[in-house]
């Protein structure tokens, strides 16, 4: 049995942070009821490329192990339905703009008034208070606002968006951990509670050591490209046939690297002896390292440096990552049969319990696929469900 078997989650969130949080809970065995608007549903269903109609790839990546119900929350009947489901739920997740949950009657105060064991998780862009509480929050906007984008890219180059949406994804992880902590607390107190996370607070949290460095120096750090302002050599270089990343993070690794790279003549030079010396003479250090690495191909350096424990890696494409034997050995790439999309691949949850192999469970649902099933579980009769559908309150 999975750790969260028996836990029921009502998920009103969309796009990425909230859906990822709910997917993590579903992967651990929780029953996730995804509430989508009548019509398109979660907007990522319409983001190309498409595996099938209504199954955009971003949606596929964050919505397995869920049952989808389509309900118009702007109607009294629609709100009553989800409020009834919330009475029987353990967790509610929402990511609406500030004030919307209250207008829809799915805010913490409303739902917990009839279910004090409920854990209510609210996800926002800029938080639920403060001057920007009503501002829309998307990952790229928070990369810009938080200063992350000012640190990304090469010195003198343009501003670069991190393509993996790190702020959205980490916000989902924070929501996940907050909900798990609340479930543990509920075991002690018998009462639920609230969890609030925001993309802005996630971004600030990710900037921990960067801000510490800023406070120490008092100036905006330069863009570092692939390097690290506090370490050297610690960046991408060009071997004779392509790029390779080298991570010489301490002086012991420097001595090992120099022995293999044929740089014994400079290993104890005052300019290069310690990491602080190398950072102070960064350009000269990099010139020596680049000249050495250019003599041999990537495979040579990857093999020789790995043998002596110096961190390094080819800069792989996605195809190279997926084709690597070690990637395959992790079991992170899962395959499943989708009833509409056919054979499909996905990325599994990066947690293993009791060495059990990763499995998909329920494939990402079609829009409103489980509306009838969930409403029937609530005790609604066929005639009532049909009437709601004719009125376009459910789909």
| C-alpha distance from residue 328 to each of 66, 245, 325, 338 (Å) | 26, 22, 5, 22
Q: Give the helix/strand (H/E) hosting 234.
A: strand 234-239
Q: Which of 240, 364, 257, 234 is nearest to 298 (CA)?
A: 240
Strands of 81-179 (E only): list them. 91-94, 119-124
The answer to whether residue 168 is catalytic is yes
Q: Which of 27, 31, 90, 168 is catalytic?
A: 168
Would you state the structure tokens that stand for residue 156, as one six-digit string? Answer: 């003198």
Measured distance CA(326)–CA(266) in Å, rounded: 35
> If you count them, how many residues does the chain have?
395
3-state secondary structure of 371: helix
Q: Which of 124, 103, 106 is nearest to 115 (CA)?
A: 106
User: How are the residues of the chain apportioned to helix, strand and coil, as percentages rounded to the nearest 5?
Assistant: 40, 15, 40
Strands of 295-391 (E only): list them. 312-314, 333-338, 342-347
Q: Which of 129, 10, 25 is nearest to 69 (CA)?
A: 10
Q: Is the Cβ–Cβ distance between 149 and 161 less than 8 Å? A: yes
3-state secondary structure of 127: coil
List all residues 6 or more positions away from 128 whose beta carbon is below 8 Å from its beta carbon: 98, 122, 196, 198
Measured distance CA(211)–CA(205) in Å, rounded: 10
Q: Is the Cβ–Cβ distance between 263 and 288 less than 8 Å? A: yes
Measured distance CA(41)–CA(388) in Å, rounded: 17
DSSP state of 147: S
Active site residues: 168
């Amino acid at each position: 049995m999975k750790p969260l078997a028996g836990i029921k989650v009502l998920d009103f969130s969309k796009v990425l942070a909230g859906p990822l949080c709910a997917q993590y809970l579903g992967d651990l065995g929780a029953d996730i009821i995804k509430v989508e608007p009548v019509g398109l549903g979660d907007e990522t269903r319409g983001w190309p490329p498409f595996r099938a109609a209504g199954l955009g790839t971003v949606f596929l990546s964050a919505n397995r192990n869920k049952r989808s119900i389509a309900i118009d929350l702007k109607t009294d009947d629609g709100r009553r339905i989800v409020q009834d489901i919330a009475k029987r739920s353990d967790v509610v997740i929402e990511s609406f703009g500030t004030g919307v949950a209250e207008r829809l009657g799915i805010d913490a105060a409303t739902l917990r008034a009839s279910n004090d064991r409920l854990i209510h998780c609210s996800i926002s862009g800029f938080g639920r208070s403060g001057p920007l509480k009503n501002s829309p929050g998307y990952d790229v906007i928070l990369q810009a606002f938080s200063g992350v984008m000012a640190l990304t890219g090469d010195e003198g180059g343009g501003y670069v968006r991190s393509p993996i949406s790190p702020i959205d994804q980490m916000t989902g992880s924070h929501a996940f951990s907050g909900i798990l902590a609340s479930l543990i607390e509920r075991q002690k107190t018998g009462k639920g509670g609230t969890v609030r996370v925001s993309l802005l607070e996630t971004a600030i949290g990710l900037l921990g050591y960067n801000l510490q460095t800023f406070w120490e120096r008092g100036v905006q750090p330069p863009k570092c490209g692939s390097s690290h302002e506090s370490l050297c050599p610690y960046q991408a270089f060009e071997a004779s046939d392509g790029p390779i990343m080298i991570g010489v993070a301490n002086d012991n690794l420097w001595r090992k690297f120099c022995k293999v790279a044929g740089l014994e003549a400079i290993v104890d030079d005052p300019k290069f002896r310690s990491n602080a010396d190398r950072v102070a003479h960064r350009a000269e250090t990099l010139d020596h390292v680049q000249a050495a690495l250019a003599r041999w191909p990537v495979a040579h350096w990857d093999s020789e440096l790995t043998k002596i424990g110096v961190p390094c890696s080819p800069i792989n494409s996605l195809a190279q990552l997926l084709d690597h034997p070690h990637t395959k050995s992790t079991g992170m790439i899962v395959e499943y049969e989708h009833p509409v999309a056919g054979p499909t691949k996905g990325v599994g949850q990066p947690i293993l319990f009791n060495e059990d192999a990763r499995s998909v469970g329920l494939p990402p649902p079609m829009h409103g696929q489980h509306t009838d099933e969930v409403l029937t579980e609530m005790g609604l009769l066929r005639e009532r469900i049909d009437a709601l559908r004719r009125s376009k309150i459910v789909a």
